[in-house]
Amino acid sequence: MKNESGVFTLLGTSLLTFALAGCSSAPAETDEANAAPAEAAAPAAAEPQAALAAAAPTAQVTGDAIPQSVTRDTSGGFPAGLSADDIANANVADGRAAVKEVLRWKEGDHDAFAVFMTVEGGTEGSASRDLYVATYRQTGSTLQRVRTLKELSGACEFDLTAEFVPGSIALTNLDGDAEGEVTLGYRTACRSDMSPSDFKLFILEGGEKYGIRGRSRVEISDGEREGGEAKEDFKGAPASFAPHVREVWSANVNQ
């Protein structure tokens, strides 16, 4: 199931470890691999899409060239047959959820897609912004959720950062099998100064997740930088995954 292939960069997002000044609650990363079928029965392919201009690959594509079939939709609409509740698995108030991006690609006899969503929250004097990424497979009218990744920020009474990182999102087929891999990164922080934010970068394939958790790097004075720490988790991953994720991390760690 693993062998070497190429990379096509899309948009962006990355990582985490929380060291911050005065946040009322730390963020919480949770996710789940979903083996159960049929979350919705309607086809999810209705809205207009712009074909992605693929970047030059960093390695020769020797396997199934899944990235060449990718489309990217940043119009902000939910895929047909899906709502915020379908993605978040929670009661999301109207107007507080926003789709940031939808990626679609072909995998053999079915379509696959990933939805990136934020949910705003908070009360007077504080704010929260939760990040969600959900991946799906669709064959005909049968829709199956494959994985859900959640980053819940908690209430913040200072300056809140919770954002997908432009430049970190990519669709690849590095191991040359029948499944595409989604790379994504995001930053989170609740702070009252210019300290580093938490920064996480993951690669998802099917129900599996690998990646790096750490902190972004910031310049606190002339020539003096803080942050940039990273802890890797690639246990059981194909050998081609770690070099790709490290490259994306290096390109996006400076804030």
Q: What is the C-alpha separation between 62 and 78, in angstroms, rounded?
A: 33
Q: What is the C-alpha separation between 237 and 28, in angstroms, rounded?
A: 24
Give the torsion sign (CA, 144, 31, 67, 13).
positive
Strand runs labelled E in 153-216: 159-164, 170-172, 181-191, 198-205, 208-215
Task: Determine if the pTM surpasses 0.85.
Answer: no
Q: For 131-176, write each residue's pLDDT tens digit.
A: 999 999 999 889 999 999 999 999 999 999 999 998 899 899 999 9
β-bridge partners, 208 = 205
Is the per-residue pLDDT at 53 higher than 70?
no
Is the per-residue pLDDT at 62 higher than 50?
no
Q: Where are the alpha helices (DSSP H) in 145-252?
A: 241-252
For the ranges 24-33, 139-148, 207-216, 219-228, the lowest mean pLDDT is seen at 24-33
Tokens of 154: 């908690």
Q: For 20-45, write each residue's pLDDT tens digit.
A: 233 334 568 887 776 443 333 333 33
Mean predicted lDDT score pLDDT of the chain: 80
Predicted local distance difference test score (pLDDT) of residue 33: 73
Q: What is the C-alpha separation between 138 and 90, in angstroms, rounded?
A: 22
CB 46 within 8 A of CB 206: no
